[in-house]
Amino acid sequence: MAIFLTLRLKSFKNLASRYFRNYPFRFLSIVFFSFTAIFGVYLVILEGFTFLVSLGGFGSIIIKRLFYILFFIIFFMLGISFGVLFYTASFRSRETEFLLTLPIEIRKISFFKFIESTLLASWIPILGLIVFIASYAKINHIPIFLPLLSFVYFIPFILISCFLGYLVCVSVLKFFNLKKLFIFVILVFIATFLLFTKSFKKETKDIFYLLSEEIIFFKISKTWFLPFSWVPWGIIHFEDGNLLRSFVFLANLWSLSLLCLNSLFLKGGNIFTNIFIRHSIPKHKYYHKSLLDKLLRMKLLPHHFRNFFLKDIKLFIREPILWLQFLIFFGLLFFYFLNLRRFSYHLLDDLWKNLIVFLNTFSVLCIVGALAIRFVFPQWSLEGKSYWILKLSPIALKSIYLEKFILSFLIMFLTSLVLIFTSNQMLKASMPIFYLTFYIELIASFSLVSFSLGLGAYFADFKTDYYLKAVESLGGLVALVLNFSYVVITVFIFTFINHLFIIGKLINFKKYLLTTIYLWTGISFFLVYILTYVGLRKLKEKEY
């Protein structure tokens, strides 16, 4: 186990030092800008907290709710991310075939793959959590060692979450095929939908109700006997000086995580072998011409576009890792928007309604940003070792780039359009707000897709066995920070102007709004141009 991890560390060290030796300035710039961007995110969260605190009682309640919800969401997202990484690193990687030929116990290989996937899946969430906790500590005047102390809580939390991802991953691989899996996911959505519809009976405009623990989402995120709530419970008790209670939650976390690791070490080997054998036997399933082939054969699009569309769509549909994540993302978003009418936000005052319209725009953009990182950023790395086929094709790289952009943008824009339309309809937003949010959505989707595709081209790795390595790499982090910063700044600017207008502090609203729109659009297009240019140039220079 230690040998494997040392090997990984050595490879990482060699890679970093080779990059530093060959491109010292670029290396230092990336490190410097990454730290600056992380500090920027810290400042943005801090600014958000300061705003919430300035609201008084509501603000403090929202911050506490956010704390629980954050860990609730991260727990499941981390589990999903781990599941995908574990699958690709264990059962789709050629390294596993090699490792199985070595005189090493299989349970050790399985354990190593678990730890490796945990490290890969968790380093970005850990970074985000530290930034969040640091801002939280600052706003609540808690000693600065809290972010350091919270590590003791994070490690078992991450292990438990990843173990859950592991259980789901091995269960799916053991008991499902593609069709069964798809039907199962749809059934889960329907069941959850029915459960949610049943649980929301009350309609009110009382803001205290909206933030109360009656709401099922808040209620679940605070459930004391479920592990995702143990970190916020522990830290909040620590903050309140209840050290004993804080310690109880910490002890819970560690004992459960050690139990998970122990059972994995004891039983993981057998499960690993069975699934590996099942997975590596060729299935020779036949795929005949589908409706998609016939549709794309219709000469509605230029010849090359149709050819590449068909290839990219087929590769997406036949890769359960990709469409499963896509379904989960949209499933979560669907439930979020379903709740809007249940909460009757449309009955609120204009001030709150306006805030919620922009919060929804923010959440839709966050989802577009996250999807762009997950699906658009690795578009080039997804070509992987087959990239030579594109590199040797007598078609200009910029045409292929354009095809990838159009496909990604169409999907992102249309889905976000539906979401923003639903949100505005449910909130009964006024027409100007309707148009404004549509416009923001259009330009922001365009920009986010361009940023991700450009950076994806810049950081493309054609040697990796599994594409998610690209998402979890330094390039993925840079793209994540850029997308997130862009979304935060965009929403902040427009919310702020609207807020000033609604509270009567902005006299010439139309003029300010138009100027902001022009400036924001101009800056967005400028950034799009720069990143597309840099990405495309780098792609042309990349050797195979």
Residues found near another protein in the complex (CB under 8 A) = 18, 22, 282-288, 303-304, 306-307, 310-311, 314-315, 318-319, 384-386, 388-389, 391-396, 541, 543-544
Structure tokens at 434: 């309707």
CB 408 within 8 A of CB 449: yes
Q: What's the CA gap between 363 and 350, in Å, rounded?
A: 19
CB 441 within 8 A of CB 364: yes
Other CB atoms closer than 10 Å to residue 223's CB: what's the count? 13
Give the largest CA-CA distance in the chain.
77
Q: How far is the CB of 400 from another protein (least distance, A)?
A: 10
Q: How far is the CB of 178 from another protein (least distance, A)?
A: 12
Burial letters 377-393, b for 16+ CB under 10 A, else e: bbbbbbbbeebeebbee
**Residue whose CB is less far from another protein, 385 or 510:** 385
Q: How far is the CB of 310 from another protein (least distance, A)?
A: 8
Structure tokens at 472: 């979890």
Other CB atoms closer than 10 Å to residue 323's CB: what's the count? 17
**Residue whose CB is less far from another protein, 214 or 465:** 465
**Residue whose CB is less far from another protein, 178 or 259:** 178
| Residues constituting the chain | 544
Q: What's the CA gap between 516 and 496, in Å, rounded?
A: 11
Q: What's the CA gap between 168 and 21, in Å, rounded?
A: 42
**Residue whose CB is less far from another protein, 206 or 293:** 293
Q: How far is the CB of 541 from another protein (least distance, A)?
A: 7
Q: How far is the CB of 133 from another protein (least distance, A)?
A: 41
Residue carrying the six token digits 């990405």: 535
Q: What's the CA gap between 332 and 86, in Å, rounded?
A: 22
Q: How far is the CB of 21 from another protein (least distance, A)?
A: 8
Q: What's the CA gap between 86 and 191, in Å, rounded?
A: 27
CA distances to 103, 118, 158 from 128, in Å: 39, 16, 13
Q: How far is the CB of 539 from another protein (least distance, A)?
A: 13
Please measure the distance between the N-terminal and C-terminal CA atoms of the chain and give it in whole angstroms. 33
**Residue whose CB is less far from another protein, 247 or 544:** 544
Q: How far is the CB of 182 from another protein (least distance, A)?
A: 16
**Residue whose CB is less far from another protein, 198 or 285:** 285
**Residue whose CB is less far from another protein, 127 or 310:** 310
**Residue whose CB is less far from another protein, 207 or 310:** 310
CB 361 within 8 A of CB 444: no
Angle between helices 474-502 and 431-458 (to 10 degrees): 160
**Residue whose CB is less far from another protein, 393 or 425:** 393
Q: How far is the CB of 505 from another protein (least distance, A)?
A: 56
